[in-house]
Structures are given as structure tokens and as C-alpha cells.
Structure 1
Amino acid sequence: MSTGVRRRMGVEERRQQLIGVALELFSRRSPDDVSIDEIASAAGISRPLVYHYFPGKLSLYEAALQRAADDLAGRFVEPAEGPLGARLLRVMGRFFDFVDEHGPGFSALMRGGPAVGSSTTNALIDSVRQAAYDQIIAHLGVEEPPARLELVVRSWISLAESTALIWLDGRRIPRAELEVQLVHDFAALAAVSAAHDEQMTAVLRRVLKNEPGSGPFGDLVARLIALAS
């Protein structure tokens, strides 16, 4: 972050700098607690100049959320190589990297922050969820997801969000354990759905066929067997 050093920038360069400064501040504290004066000071410009590029704090906040949303959506991108369980575990690692680094910003994105209820904020949240959904469906290799598969994937994405928000409140459970648990949750949701639907059964069988016993899904099976014995 720049600290009080003024230099000439082009319009777009200055806008991007202000978005970056705001996002960094929002990542450390609640956006409600960050003032325009702080953003201006950190960017090395005057308060009136901030308003030259953004009409108000809300517009700057929404621009920062857009960058955060793009970053978060990108965390779900994963090469379609290897067992699904290992892929999901890597995705969860990157997802929690973002949550860990941008705690207040992540909370603001998911809960709306100062822009709660605004169409812009809601659209950003929906875009992240849709990007995550599209990635998971692609990894499952299903072109036209049946209704129950859509329910499983969207429910799992919501579960990952709520788990991360709860984890941020004190970080009482080791992060690595939650990452594995969420991958197990995906398998469990899919298995319950498969018990009620033939299409889901076919999807799950195809996925499990390529899963090693040492992977996250194999680990879940071993844990369940141990519980039942």
C-alpha cells in the first residue's frame, strides 16, 4: 500500500490504485469502519481527489467488491486432471486462502456490508456462486445436470460459504480440518442424493471409480466404516 507519496497517474491507473487500497483496508477491517479520509491518505492523495474518481464511498466499495468477487471466483478454477476429491481439496485450499487473507472483505461480500440489498452487490455474490457452480459441474463431466445434482452442488457451495463465515468468528477449528470436512460434505451430500435418484447414482459411481483409497473420498469411507464397527 502507498503511504502519502503523490505522483501523477492516468485516470484508469488511479482508479485501479484506489480500488486496490480500498480492498486492502476492507480486508483488514469492516468496510463500515474505513473512511474516505483513510483511503485517500493510504493512496497519497486528497479526499476531494477520491471523489473525482468515485462519486462516493459506496461506488468505491462496490468496485472493490467486484475485484474481490473476480478473485474469489478464480479460486474455483482447477485443471480437470486427477481424482475429483483431490481437485476439490485444492479448491478448498485456495478458497480458504482468500477467506483467511480477506476476512472482513469476504464477510462484506457474502453479507452485503454497507451495500446490503443493493442490486450490484447481489449480482456480484450471484456471479461468484454461479462461477463456482459451473466449475464443479464441469469437473463432474455432466453437460445437462439433473435437478438433484444441481441441488447438491448449490447446497454445497452455500455450505462452504456459511462454514467460512462461522470459521472467521474466532477460527476455533483448524482450517485444514475444515477444508477436508467440506470435501467430505460434498461426497456425503452426493451419496444421500444418489440413494434417492438413479441419475445421481450413475454420477457418483463414475466419480468413485477413479478415487484412490488414500484420497479424501476414500478417507471418508474409512471413517464411516470405523464409526459403524
Structure 2
Amino acid sequence: MSTGVRRRMGVEERRKQLIGVALELFSQRSPDEVSIDEIAAAAGISRPLVYHYFPGKLSLYEAALKRAAQDLAGRFDEPHEGPLGDRLRRVMRRFFDFVDEHGPGFSALMRGGPAVGSSATNALIDAVRQAAYVQILSHLEVDDPPARLELVVRSWISLAESTALIWLDGRRIPRAELEVQLVHDFAALAAVSAAYDEEMAGVVRRMIKDEPPDGAFADLAARLITLAS
């Protein structure tokens, strides 16, 4: 956290500093609990100077949220190399890294915080979800997704969000297990949809075509077989 002697900064440098300070504070506690006075003190400047750069806490929160949203969207970027199950597992690891680092802020955003409900905030959240959606489709090598595939991918993104929120409330399930479980959830959602639609069946066949015997999707199949036996 930035503290200490005040020094002159340019406008953009000061704005970036305040956004960084706010992000750190919002990561430790709900934004509702963080005051402008705390942000000013952490930045080593006066309260009026904070208002010189941002009209109020809401605008500062939205600026911090924009930076966090860009970070979160970037967590879904993954090279198109190796089995899909392994790629999704790496994505989930980075996703939970973000949730772990920004727990209270992530929770406040999804459950209701000072900026929730504003069009700017909703647009940022939707942009993250859309970035995740586009990334998953690119890994499935689908440009024009059928309705059932869109349903599967968007449902899975919502499931990842809700799983992360539940995990934050006590962290009663080991994080590593949830990361793998969400990869299995994706495969399960796709498989169920494939049972009703031949186009989805083709997507699933491509998903598992290059999966190794010890891969994430094979692990799910083995668990289900064991359960049924």
C-alpha cells in the first residue's frame, strides 16, 4: 500500500496511484466499508485532493473496477496448446487467483456494492463475461455457436462466478478441488446438451478427441464409471 511523504505527481500518475490504492483497500474489505479519508491517507494526500481527481467514491470505485475487470478478463486468455481440459484448468487457476486476491471487492461487485446498478458497472461486468465467452468459443474452434452451445458456455461462466462467491464464504472446500470440479462441470454440461443435439455431439467429440488418458475429462469419466459400478 502506498504511504509516506507527499510528492508531486502528474495528473495521470496520481490517478493511477489512487486507483491502485483503492483496489488494494477494496480487496481487503467491502468497498462500502472503505472511506475517502482512508484512501487519502493510504495515498499520502489530503481528502480534498482525492476529490480533485475523482468526484466521489463511486467514480473512484468505477475506475478501480475498470482496471480489475481488465485484469479479470485477461485471466481467460490461454494459448491454444495442449488438451482442452488442461487449458480450462489453467484458466480456472488464474480465475481463482484473482478471486483470492480481490475477495471482498469481487464479492461486493457480484452481490451488490456502491457502484452496482450503474450502467458503467454493469457494462464492465458484461464485458468480462463476454471476454470469457469469446475465449471459450475460440478454444472450441466455433465461430457461429448454435443455441445450445451458447447456453452451455454462458451457464458455465455463471456457475464459475457463483462457485467463487460460495467458496469465499468460509472457503470450506479446497480451492484446487473446485478448480478441477469446474472443468468437469463444463464437460458435464456439454455432454448433457450433446445427448439432445447432434451439433453439440460433434462439439463434444472434438473436445475429447485429443484428451490424454490422464486428462481432466478422462478423470471425470473414470469417476462417473466408478460411481455407477
Does the TM-score normalized on the shorter chain lie above 0.5?
yes
Aligned to 1:104: 104
- In the aligned structure 2, how far is the partner of 1:106 from the partner of 1:141? 30
Check conservation: 1:73, 1:132, Cα contact below 8 A.
yes
Could you list the structure 1 runs, at least 4 aligned residues long, displaced by more than 6 angstroms after superposition.
Answer: none
Deviation at 1:122, TM superposition (A): 0.5
- Structure 2 counterparts to residues 205-224 of structure 1, below 5 A: 205-224=205-224
Deviation at 1:206, TM superposition (A): 1.1
Structure 2 unaligned blocks of 5 or more: none
The one-letter amino acid paired with 2:102 is H
The one-letter amino acid paired with 1:33 is E
1:77 aligned counterpart, secondary structure: coil
Aligned to 1:25: 25
2:35 equivalent to 1:35: yes
Structure 1 unaligned blocks of 5 or more: none
Identity of aligned residues (%): 86
Residue deviations 1:95-148 (CA, integer Å, cap 9, x gap): 000000110111122234111211011101100000000000000001110000
Aligned to 2:168: 168
Check conservation: 2:76, 2:132, Cα contact below 8 A.
yes
Check conservation: 1:27, 1:105, Cα contact below 8 A.
yes
Q: CA RMSD of the aligned region, Å?
A: 0.7
- In the aligned structure 2, how far is the partner of 1:213 from the partner of 1:107? 37
Aligned to 1:197: 197
Aligned to 1:95: 95
Aligned to 1:178: 178
2:35 equivalent to 1:58: no
Query: TM-score, structure 1 length as denominator?
Result: 0.99
Residue deviations 1:73-109 (CA, integer Å, cap 9, x gap): 0000000011000000000000000000110111122
Aligned to 1:124: 124
- In the aligned structure 2, how far is the partner of 1:211 from the partner of 1:127? 30
The one-letter amino acid paired with 1:101 is E
- In the aligned structure 2, how far is the partner of 1:195 from the partner of 1:184? 17
Aligned length: 229
- In the aligned structure 2, how far is the partner of 1:217 from the partner of 1:5? 54
Residue deviations 1:3-53 (CA, integer Å, cap 9, x gap): 132011000000000000000000000000000000000000000000000
Check conservation: 1:30, 1:108, Cα contact below 8 A.
yes
1:170 aligned counterpart, secondary structure: coil
The one-letter amino acid paired with 1:70 is Q
- In the aligned structure 1, how far is the partner of 2:112 from the partner of 2:137? 27
Check conservation: 1:132, 1:157, Cα contact below 8 A.
yes
- In the aligned structure 1, how far is the partner of 2:2 from the partner of 2:113? 25
2:48 equivalent to 1:48: yes
Check conservation: 1:4, 1:45, Cα contact below 8 A.
no
2:75 equivalent to 1:81: no
- In the aligned structure 2, how far is the partner of 1:133 from the partner of 1:120? 20
Check conservation: 1:4, 1:41, Cα contact below 8 A.
no
Deviates more, 1:74-83 or 1:115-124: 115-124
2:185 aligned counterpart, secondary structure: helix
- In the aligned structure 1, how far is the partner of 2:68 from the partner of 2:108? 10
